Amino acid sequence: MSETTTTTTAAYGLRARAARLDAADPLAARRDLFALDDGVYLDGNSLGALPVHVPARVQDVLTRQWGELRIRSWDESGWWTAPERIGDRIAPLVGAAAGRIVVGDSTSVNVFKAVVAAARIAGEGRDEILVDATTFPTDGYIAASAARLTGHRIVPVAPADVPSALGPRTAVALLNHVDYRSGRLHDLPGLTAAVHAAGALAVWDLCHSAGALPVGLDEHGVDLAVGCTYKYLNGGPGAPAYLYVAERHQAAFDSPLPGWNSHADPFGMTPGYTPADGSVRGRVGTPDIVSMLTLEAALDVWDGVEVAAVRAKSLALTDFFLECVEAYVPAGRVTSVTPAAHAERGSQVALRCDAAEPVMRRLIERGVVGDLRRPDVLRFGFTPLYVGFADAERAARVLAEVLGEIPSPGPLA
C-alpha cells in the first residue's frame, strides 16, 4: 500500500470518528451561540469568539442605558454594582464563592494590586517575591515594579523548582496556572500548599485556565488570583480583568491603588481613605461600563455549563488533534511541547516547527486560525464551547498540507 493510500485511509477513518464524536458531544449545541465562519478558529486562548447575542445587549447599553437614562443608569441599570455582580458570575467558573471576586482594570493592574497587597500581608522579615521564570513577560515586569515599591527582592524560579526555592524570607509566590507558550498546566494545589508551608502567600495568574478547566480557588486555599476575561470567557477585546481575594485576607487587603470606588463612603469625598469591606477593596476608579456589561452579556453562554464537562471535552479534543497530527504530518516536521499527561495539560497544543511564521501565515490564509510564539512555536487553542472534533481533524490535515508545500530545513533537534 502506498504512502498516499495509507494517508487517505487514515484521513477517512479520522474524519468518520470526528463526526461520531461531534454527534455525541453534549456541548456541541453551544457552538450555535457564537459568531463563527466556515473556518477553524483555534485562537480562543488569545481572543474568544463573539457570542451572537452580545451586540444587541451592547446596543441597549448604548442607546437606552446611556442614551436615555444617562446618569440614572448608575442606579437604575445597576452600573454601580456591576464589578461585584459580574465577579459573582465568574466565581463558579474558578471555584470561588460569591463575594470574593471583583471585576475591573487590566490583568496587569490586578497583578500589581495582588502582589503588593500579598507582600504587605506577609509582613516584615519576608523580603523575597518568587516569580515564575517562564511567566508571561508583563507579570514579571509588574512583579519587579512591586518589588521596588515594597523593598523586596525578585527571585525568578522555574515552577518545578518553587518548593526548593521557598524559605523563611519568601513573602509571595506569583505563579501561572497554565504556561502561555507550551500549554503546560502547573500544580496549583501542590504549589499552593508548598507556599503556605513556607509561611508565604500564593498569587495565581489564571489567564489561560479560567473557562477551560477547573481551578478550585477556595478548595485549594489560594490567597489571591487574577485573570483576564477575553480568552476562554469570551468577554471581548480588552475586556476587564478580575481580582480574587480569599475571604480570610479581605480585612487585611491593603491595595496599593486606593481609589474612590473602593472607599467605604465613596460619595463622602473625604480626604482620608477608609477602605470598603470585602472584595470591593479591589476596585480603584470609575469602571469601564461598556466593556464590563459586554462581558456580563457574554457570560450568558456559560449558563447551565459544568466546568468538568468543559475539561473533559478539552482533553478529548487535544488528544484527538495530537493523534491527527501524528497521522498526517510527516515525521520530524513538528514536535509537541505540550505535555502528553492530562494532569499537566491546559487547553492548547503547542508545536515546535521550523519556519513557524510562514506556516502559520498559510494556515490562516486557508481558514485555520491559530497563532505563534517566536521563534518556532505554533499555538492552537481549543475552546470546548465552540470547537469540535471535525475542526481538530481539519486543522491537522491542513497543517500537513502546508508543511508539504514548505521545504523542511532539517529534522527538529
The residues that are catalytic are 136, 205, 230-231, 379
Detail the DSSP E strand segments found in 124-200. Answer: 128-132, 153-157, 170-176
Nearest-CA neighbor of 305 among 372, 377, 213, 202?
A: 213
Q: Would you say 217 and 96 are in contact if contact means Cβ atoms under 8 Å apart? A: yes
DSSP 410: S
In the block, residue with C-alpha cell 520530524: 332
For residue 62, the cross-strand partners are none
Other beta carbons less than 10 A from residue 322's beta carbon: 18
Cα separation, 360 vs 372, whole angstroms: 7
Q: Would you say 19 and 390 are in contact if contact means Cβ atoms under 8 Å apart? A: yes
CA distances from 307 to 27, 95, 141, 211, 303 (A): 11, 9, 32, 7, 11
Cα separation, 278 vs 335, whole angstroms: 47
In the block, residue with C-alpha cell 508539504: 404
